[in-house]
Structure 1
Amino acid sequence: MADQREDTCGAHQHSASWDEGDRLAALDRYAILDTPREAEFDDVVRLAADVFGAPIAVVNLIASGRQWFKAEVGIGADELPLDVSICAHAILQQGIFVVPDTTADARFTCNPLVTGEPGLRFYAGALLETPDGLPLGTVCVLDTKPRPDGITERQRLTLELLARQVMTQLELRREIAQRDKRAALLQSEIDARRNLEASLRTSEQRYRALFDTIDAGFCIIEVLFDGERPVDYRFLEVNRAFEAQTGLVDAAGKRMRELAPDHEQHWFDIYGRVALSGEPIRFENEAAALGFWYDVRAFRIGAAKERHVAVLFTDISERRRAERAIQQLNETLEAQVEARTAELSLMWQTSPDLMLEIDFDGVFRRVNPAWTKLLGFSETELVGHHVNEFVLPEHHDDTVDAYETAAEGQHAQVENRYRHKDGSVRSIAWVAAPAGSITYAIGRDITKEVEQRERLQQMEDQLRQAQKMEAVGQLTGGIAHDFNNMLAVTIGSLDLLKRRIGAEDARAVRYIDAAADGARRAANLTQRLLAFSRQQPLRPEPVNANSLVAGMSDLIRHSIGGDIQLETVLAGGLWRTHVDPNQLENVILNLAINARDAMADGGRITIETQNAHLDQRYVAAHLGVGAGQYVLIAVSDTGSGMTPEVIAKAFDPFFTTKAVGKGTGLGLSQAYGFVKQSGGHVKIYSEPGEGTTIKVYLPRLLGDHPEHEPESLVQPLPLGEEQELILVVEDEPAVRQFSVDALVELGYRVISAGSATEALRLLDANPAVSLLFTDVVMPEINGAKLAEEVRRRRPELPILFTTGYTRNAVVHNGVLEPGVQLIGKPFTIEELAARIREALDTATS
């Protein structure tokens, strides 16, 4: 690469060994200036622009006071003044002249083509030198963007090869021009002799001299066809260079198949097309049978029916060998790079920390496998997406600040929170550094550390809250005590006074009743003061959910409107629960209104109650849920349903899918908070287009109640028999595995399928299947349609359905027929054992 010298802007400091007059004279001898465009030179600039990926490429000849372009791409002009020429500097250098950034080179900072349009920033040019070493100009490429790394060795070689090709063309033109001059002199002699025969002989001699003296191989062939298919060609004429270029001896008059039987068919096809179409062609190809690579130009001559083709070709085998050597060198270098990066690749693949490549716009370009292990997302789910699609909204600004800091060339550190694919949250601490146009970052999982900090903060908040409420409690307790003492005296005295007066003085009795009523209202006020001092303003009491739902049915019907049907299915023998009834009414009403909003075209809302038991298997999969007996209140609708992404955020405060002004996004979060505060659990079952069921589990109120059964009594489980084979069909892998494990534990043989299609294949392959245990809602083919096909193939086979929706929701929504065998999720192993046994025994009987 040429040095960038601090010369005066635009000045050409001529220090070369040649004389400018000699150089201009040499340029004149080629007679190239102001000649029309020629395809040979146009091909060179197009190839140069393509190889370099540059918008501008030029064959530039430096004349007196101007630079003239024999061929150009991207300039749109035939010439420009010499004082704006970068090539004028290039001819003063030896070898390739490269300017990576013109704005950083003092010679070009005031060049109007740099400071103005088109805004040139990069230049690379190879000299066009005569055999005497005089520079005529350059073959150059230019770009409007700087290239700090300059050019590669392969690009350098390509530019030199293109420059030699241009000089070859110039030499060929000059040689032809000189031959033409000699021919003109001969022609004048022939005219002087006025002897046609002598003139023809002289012309033939002139032609033959040109034909035999050029270095390139030349021949005229007659293409031979079998019908429309070219099968061979005969050499009519060959020049002296032909034998050196091909190795074929005495070729004139002979066929190519005779001289080289293994010559490739594609050569005959190419010349056949030229002979038939008359369109000239230029190409490079290998003649393996001859052991050469050729640069070939072929064109038809004479009448079309003669099928004669003139072929001018040059041996480029040496160039191709050089290109192959360069390719092998590059492969060797690539192997060395791969070896050196193996350790980094191993670290990338095995590191437990998150690693990424991200551009300055915040878009993932590459991630390591730790992302899948830590956050559940595959590389294809991340690459091409913006980082904030996975970062919690409250950390978006900090994340943007971090990668913008890296874009400015500085190291950056940031802590943010990512949402796991399963909906959970991970806290990550990042260190990032820029490299070129990419930022590299490493993230460490600090979730446990953050949770510890948050727990400590929560404990501090709870301590401050407790201290505050203790002070408020002491104050309100003292006030209430004093008020109650005074009110006790007041109310007691008024009661005694009323008894003594009796009913004789109605006016006095009226005054006494008024005073007593005021005292009782004051007593209620003291109770409110006491309630204010508590952290949770709930008033739990024993509640019968059946009575509560029945009592608010009219209110719900009024709230949801006449287009939606309300159905209540209240279980007999329902346990009682200990909650605030007013808050519970608010929860049920809120769920009903949400269900209404999901059914714009009308539908059905079903409110059900059940006794439920959540076992250890269930609570192990649901953080924060305690095992035990619960009162279940389920609200189902036939509406549009929810996607997994919406379900994951359904309980987030202020999250809503409703239009602006149609909802606050607080309803479900308030319901969730109340249920959690009451020791309960909320679960959503929903799929797009299949409606929604929200199940509220409230702890059973234990005590001296007839429906309470001691948990210490363990009933024996009904077990399976060795010959009984159960086919389990469930699209959720975790639920499917639980079902299989439970049935195996119960003594059954089990096979399982993740889809209805797979289930039918297994059923056909296993005639010993005793029972089909299938989910109701599955993608593509649901459980009901699967059952129809199974009954067609095996009418006697018992079927047990399972679903996260309630029985009434799936039956009345038209998914299942009434009377089918159905077990709701979540189910205990005891419930599963009983229902499987019941289905098998019913089918047997």
Structure 2
Amino acid sequence: MATLPQPADDRLLRLARHPAAIAAGAGVAAAVLILWQVGDTAIAAGFAAAALVLLGGIVAARRLLPTRIPISAEPDWSVAHAVALASADALAITDRGGRIACANDRYEALFGGFPTPPNIDIGETEAARLGMTGRAAWRDGAARCDLTVRGMAVDASVTRIGDDLLLWRFKAEDTGVATTKVAALVAGAQGDRLGGAGIMTALLTADGRVKAANRVFRARAMGQEDAAIEGRDFARFLITDSAGVVRFEREGLSGNPLRLLQVPFVEEEEAPILVALLDDEPTIAMPAIGSSAASHVRSLVALLPAPLALVDRDGRFVHMNDAFTTAAGVEAGSPPLYPGDLVVREDKGALADAIRRFAGGGGFTTQLTVRFAARAEEPVQIRLTGARGLGDAAVLMSVKDSSEEGKLKRQVAQATKMQAVGQLAGGVAHDFNNILTAIIGHCDLMLMRHTPGDSDYDDIQQIKTNSNRAAGLTRQLLAFSRQQTLRPQVLQLPDVISEVSNLLKRLLGETVSLVVQHGRNLGAVRADPGQLEQVVVNLAVNARDAMLSVNPNGGGTLTIETKAVSAAQVRAMDDDVLPVGDYTALRVSDTGTGIPADVLPKIFEPFFTTKEVGKGTGLGLSTVYGIIKQSGGYIFAENLHGSGAAFTIYLPVHAGGIAPPALAPVRARQGDTWGTGTVLLVEDEDMVRAVAERALSRQGYTVLTAENGEAALELMSGAAAPDLLISDVVMPTMDGPTMVREVRKRFPDLPVLFMSGYAEEQLRRSIDLDNVAFLPKPFSVQQLAEAARDVLGTK
């Protein structure tokens, strides 16, 4: 028990409270002494008068000066000590200086002593969180936080007591229902049955202290069946000789050798441990209660929640519990004969060899990583332990089912890979758009010098056509990386399907039937209608190819359905990915071959295709995925029970007003594109800057150029404002929006035209400026001229 130090003796303080009495006594004593020595009454009377004057001065001073407040006595901690000892929680009281005034035994057990909160050895992050909680309690009177201490979840609450003390309470949660059940089994009737078969069992805490034990273990370890063994150190009951043989310490080196068997029933750190001890040599055991040792062992194994199985010396299964059959994918009514029957062919030999070695008495425990045939894509860990003395059983098998953990790891790895590929795709699209802008621009400039019929005209036109096709590929890359420019509108899905139906009929051909079904009470969604049309077309083309692969002569049915999905229906689906809410669903299904199981997890990956070389880019479904995710929706693929596959898209129902529109793109308009004025062109790519400068100069503008934002600011320092500022968005040293903000400080009404190979949707978050327009790359000379004219026309 930790307490504050007691105060020093205060007798001098009590004496100091009566200075008048001290002065009067001193004066009288001095007068008597002089009268005795000198014998002069006058001198003695003078000393007595001086003492009286001093006494009067002291009394006057005490009345004029403020009375000193006495030092308070030390508080009585006995009541606090009693309350702390009676509490099941860890308690501590600290003063303003952070010193512990009081703490109970539970606090010492939880933290290994009496460290001062928050200076507890629980890791920097947890200690920092506890310190913030303490400061909040000083300020607000009370605060709480959740901590993890030695693998246990701990609820920490701090309460201010008066103005000088803090009460720290730490409540640790239970280790779990499984631990409670096993403790009851070990100490109850099941433990007695095991004891009757000569099996000593004990449940240990993570630090090796006994939590529960059966009667036989108590009798062998302590000499009495009803001895109080809970909380004692398990290791102190055992000794080991020079040969490594384990015996009970109470029985000495002449006692029977023991074999320890550890049963992992909770796969958590700091979890309790179930230990079984068996005599390595025949001993006189207590009579069995009801049946053989094997039946008792099977009863215990069947009740444990961990996947466990028993294997005999010939390598055949003796017993397996329900958790094991579930983890191994054992079908009801057809149990396997050998463990090797459960795993894939590659793992049969290693598992059989390990079981044979342990069945023969070799080794104590080992772990193998295998794959069950029922779930070949998910490796699991199998722990093998030799188990002599358990009847027919010779090997104990336990399975660590890490399927969920492995699934989460694969999902995280897949998400990380997709994010990295998406960033790469966006960067490639940006650089590719700059190159295409230069190619298309130079083609336009050459076409101005050639007329139809010239020998070079058709070649230049072909180059421009192929460049425009490449621009479509960059749009697919941006769609995959969710960086394409969207023009979201509030719309109804049936309207989008109606717009694209005629195109679908031509794409599907005469041999594939198109069936469209619309549900009732469909909610409006907010999405880009053009991008949704692209989604439907891509899914329809993939479905057509799948159906033609079944029947090259044609045939099949493509079904497009729309339906309303309420929040209650989503909740009933219990899907981990789809949040609860109201959705409008679009389902595209076909009667093709379906999607192979090994291909299904990869279908949305970029550049992944099952088509022949030269017949697919692998960007179709990745583009669909990018568009749907950027629109705030979700897409799922599944195989149908009969034949074929289905893609279901969930778009959230739009609620509220229409969001403000995005930066409006510059629409190409026919007409005169000639203009006048000064244009400042800022572009870091030399080839794009050269093309844009020539194109604007041909239209009659005076063009000033700069290679980055800093150069543009230096060019404009002290100069007059240009009529138009055209700038790239992403540039080295200083980007376009930052440069425009600096320019707007001098010229607040300067019109700005941004151009970029990245998508406007991505850049909108950084472009929070008024009176700006956007021109996506790649663009033609005509589009650039019309964009400049339109922006200057709104000036």
Q: Which TM-score tier does this pair reach, normalised by the shorter chain?
A: 0.3 to 0.5
Q: Which of these two proteins has the greater Rg computed from alpha carbons?
A: 1
The structure with higher relative contact order (CA 8 Å, sep 6+) is 2
- TM-score if structure 1 supplies the norm length? 0.31
